[in-house]
């Protein structure tokens, strides 16, 4: 499932491949991927426009067009973006944006949890969806204030996109392991030291994952994501990893490194 690092990689891919290109046609093969817009409206608002800039907030992508509006793309669980030449569409293509010059942007999504739409000002889009600040951009003081405002389990707070946008299940486990915090610890009871460590690790882990193209086997030794499985040895060589459910999500932790207080 794409999390912030994978979505950032998709943003860079769009920046390199479609920015500067004009859309000459759009073909919606599955209306179910459209959010708040009919196929005819999408066509009307995008054909003839040129893509100017690819942006990301949390797990949400925006491609700004030359009229100031943006194409919005959320990859959901299995969404993928691919530049293809000519009419080369694939089994799970849901929408195809034909670009001047002969290539097309293909939106592929097997399980169809992703969405495509058009928005005006990005700030209003984020506000309507109650998305918190981007996990890579949030300053330390704001991070601490937002996390501390909740009495829930810290893992649930990290996953709450209205607190912080972009952290999913895998990265939440990684930053809690790195900070030696039990996932059920109450967010408002964490010490300033623990909160500072969490903020540092959120930035560090996400940047590292982007740098290595989300290939977890290339992560440095000591990262949980290299072997995130119950029964595996703790990456610090200190105990065996176990699993539990937090807010219905499978959570992997080391009880020796992350003791419950
Ligand atoms: Zn351990």
Task: Tell me the CA–centroid distance for residue 242 and ligand 1, in Å.
Answer: 10
Alpha carbon separation from 87 to 14, 17, 104 (Å, rounded): 19, 17, 8
Q: Tens digit of pLDDT for each residue in 179-233?
A: 999 999 999 999 999 999 999 999 999 999 999 998 999 999 999 999 999 999 9
Q: Is the pLDDT of residue 19 over 90?
A: yes
CA of 185 to the centre of ligand 1 (A): 17
pTM here? Answer: 0.92
**pLDDT at 111 (0 to 100):** 87
32 CB neighbour count, 10 Å cutoff: 12
What tokens were used for 255? 């009880």
Classify 75 as helix, strand or coil.
coil
Phi and psi at 167, nearest 5°, equal -90, 125
pLDDT at 89 over 90: no
Share of the chain above pLDDT 70, in %: 99
Beta-strand pair 70-74/60-65: antiparallel
CA angle (30 as vertex; 27, 34 as ends), nearest 5? 85
249 is catalytic: yes
204 counts as catalytic? no
Check 49, 129, 226, 249 and give the catalytic one: 249
In angstroms, the CA 202 to CA 144 distance is 12
**How remote is the CA of residue 237 from the centroid of ligand 1, in Å?**
6
Residue 3 falls in the annotated catalytic set: yes
The predicted model gives 161-175 an average pLDDT of 96
Q: Encoding tokens for residue 128?
A: 């309507």
- In the reported structure, the alpha carbon of residue 156 is separated from the centroid of ligand 1 by a whole-number distance in angstroms of 21
| CA–CA gap between residue 174 and residue 241 (Å, rounded) | 12
Label residues 44-54 b or e (16+ Cβ within 10 Å = b).
ebbeebebeeb
What percent of the chain clears pLDDT 90, i.e. is strictly above it? Answer: 92
User: What pLDDT is recorded for position 222?
Assistant: 94
pLDDT at 2 (0 to 100): 86
Model confidence at 167, in pLDDT bands (50, 70, 90)? Answer: very high
> Which residue in 109, 150, 141, 154 sits closest to 10, CA to CA?
109
Instruction: Please say if the pLDDT value at position 88 is more than 70.
Output: no
- The rounded Å distance from CA 12 to ligand 1 centre is 35
Question: For position 200, what pLDDT does the model report?
Answer: 98
* pLDDT higher than 90, residue 240: yes
pLDDT digits 0-9 by tens, 34-66 = 999 999 999 999 999 999 999 999 999 999 999
Residue 220 catalytic? no
| Interacting residues of 225 by C-beta distance below 8 A, sequence separation 6+ | 170, 173, 174, 209, 216, 219
Among residues 59, 146, 155, 228, the one annotated as catalytic is: 59
Whole-number Å distance, alpha carbon 179 to ligand 1 midpoint, is 11
| Mean pLDDT calculated for residue range 10-26 | 97
Please state the rounded mean pLDDT for residues 231-258: 96
Q: What is the 178 CA–ligand 1 centroid distance (Å)?
A: 10
| Cα(189) to centroid(ligand 1), Å | 22
Cα(113)–Cα(32) distance, integer angstroms: 9
pLDDT of residue 87: 67
């Amino acid at each position: 499932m794409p999390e912030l690092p994978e979505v950032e990689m998709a943003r860079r891919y769009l920046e390199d491949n479609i920015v500067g290109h004009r859309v000459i046609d759009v073909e919606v093969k599955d209306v179910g991927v459209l959010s708040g817009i009919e196929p005819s409206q999408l066509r009307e608002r995008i054909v003839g426009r040129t893509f100017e800039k690819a942006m990301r907030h949390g797990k949400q992508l925006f491609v700004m067009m030359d009229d100031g509006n943006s194409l919005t793309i959320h990859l959901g669980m299995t969404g993928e973006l691919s530049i293809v030449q000519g009419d080369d569409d694939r089994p799970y293509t849901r929408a195809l944006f034909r670009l001047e010059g002969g290539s097309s942007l293909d939106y592929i999504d097997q399980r169809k949890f992703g969405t495509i739409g058009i928005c005006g000002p990005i700030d209003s889009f984020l506000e309507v969806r109650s998305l918190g600040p981007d996990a890579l951009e949030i300053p330390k003081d704001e991070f601490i204030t937002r996390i501390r405002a909740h009495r829930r389990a810290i893992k649930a707070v990290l996953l709450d996109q209205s607190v912080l946008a972009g952290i999913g299940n895998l990265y939440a486990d990684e930053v809690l392991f790195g900070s030696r915090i039990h996932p059920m610890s109450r967010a408002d009871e964490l010490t300033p030291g623990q909160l500072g460590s969490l903020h540092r690790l959120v930035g560090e882990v996400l940047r590292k994952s982007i740098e290595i193209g989300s290939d977890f086997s290339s992560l440095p030794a000591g990262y949980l994501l290299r072997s995130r499985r119950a029964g595996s040895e703790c990456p610090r060589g200190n105990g065996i990893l176990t699993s539990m459910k937090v807010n219905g999500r499978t959570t992997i932790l080391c009880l020796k490194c992350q003791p419950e207080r």
